[in-house]
Chain A
Amino acid sequence: AQTVTQSQPEMSVQEAETVTLSCTYDTSESDYYLFWYKQPPSRQMILVIRQEAYKQQNATENRFSVNFQKAAKSFSLKISDSQLGDAAMYFCAYSTFSGTYKYIFGTGTRLKVLA
């Protein structure tokens, strides 16, 4: 069964600094997608970035980028120039093309941004 693991329950970063959130996953599939979602205090889930497993190039969205290591089954999120508005829960998620199209989420990392 596919699983997603986020081993950092909580992280802190100084404003304007860089922070990396970790995510590992387990799957026997070769084609799949990985996502990072942000959940601010409003609890609204917002897509931050997504990566297609067959693409070797790491995805980037403005200050957010990923380090996708397919062989190691690792998918970390780097936030550069951290802002107070980045404070939120961050969830890593996985989905596959085969069969069920279920989306599996990790347990989340709470990010605190210090002024």
Chain B
Amino acid sequence: DGGITQSPKYLFRKEGQNVTLSCEQNLNHDAMYWYRQDPGQGLRLIYYSQIVNDFQKGDIAEGYSVSREKKESFPLTVTSAQKNPTAFYLCASKPGRTKVEKLFFGSGTQLSVL
């Protein structure tokens, strides 16, 4: 079945550690997005990519990094510079680069700090 797979479902980070959240899609979608969800703050955009080897910062990119080396993969690294990383992270994708369509979402990763 086609869809977006996020892994792991739960992730724990130690002080000063970088961690990487995986997002893989087999929908052949061009555009991919990373959102952070905190209670009472809705979804905030971290990074997005419209095409392979290109990505743009969202509203809260500081302390995060991404890569888009393959169309189906858009991993997010939470670096040690992100001082408050505890949140629920959602990856999303959509088919076309230049169309406004519904976003398809993964099931999310809950990141917590040890």
A17 CB, nearest partner CB in chain B, Å: 26
A104 to B92, CA, bound (A): 13
A47 to B98, CA, bound (A): 20
**Are the CB atoms of A96 and B42 closer together than 8 Å?**
no
Partner of B48, one of A47, A91, A102: A102
B2 CB, nearest partner CB in chain A, Å: 15
Q: Which residues of B contact A100 (CB under 8 A)?
A: 56
Q: Which DSSP category, helix, strand, loop or mixed, fits chain B's interface? A: strand
Number of interface residues of B (CB under 8 A): 24
User: A96 — nearest CB in chain B belongs to which residue?
Assistant: B100
Are A91 and B43 CB-contacts (below 8 A) given A43-B108, A102-B48? yes
User: What per-residue 1/0 map shows which CB atoms of A49-66 lie under 8 Å from chain B?
Assistant: 010000000000000000
A45 to B37, CA, bound (A): 12
User: A6 — nearest CB in chain B belongs to which residue?
Assistant: B42
User: B108 — nearest CB in chain A belongs to which residue?
Assistant: A43
B103 within 8 A of A: yes
A44 within 8 A of B: yes
Number of interface residues of A (CB under 8 A): 25
User: A47 — nearest CB in chain B belongs to which residue?
Assistant: B102
A44 to B98, CA, bound (A): 25
**Are the CB atoms of A102 and B45 closer together than 8 Å?**
yes
**Are the CB atoms of B100 and A105 closer together than 8 Å?**
no
**Are the CB atoms of B102 and A35 closer together than 8 Å?**
yes
B50 within 8 A of A: yes
Q: Which residues of A contact B88 (CB under 8 A)?
A: 43
Question: In chain B, residues 74-98, which have Cβ atoms closer than 8 Å to a Cβ of chain A?
Answer: 88, 90, 92, 97-98
Residues of B within 8 A of A (CB): 31, 33, 35, 40-45, 48, 50, 56, 58, 88, 90, 92, 97-98, 100, 102-103, 105, 107-108
Residues of A within 8 A of B (CB): 6, 9, 32-33, 35, 42-45, 47, 50, 91, 93, 95-97, 100-108
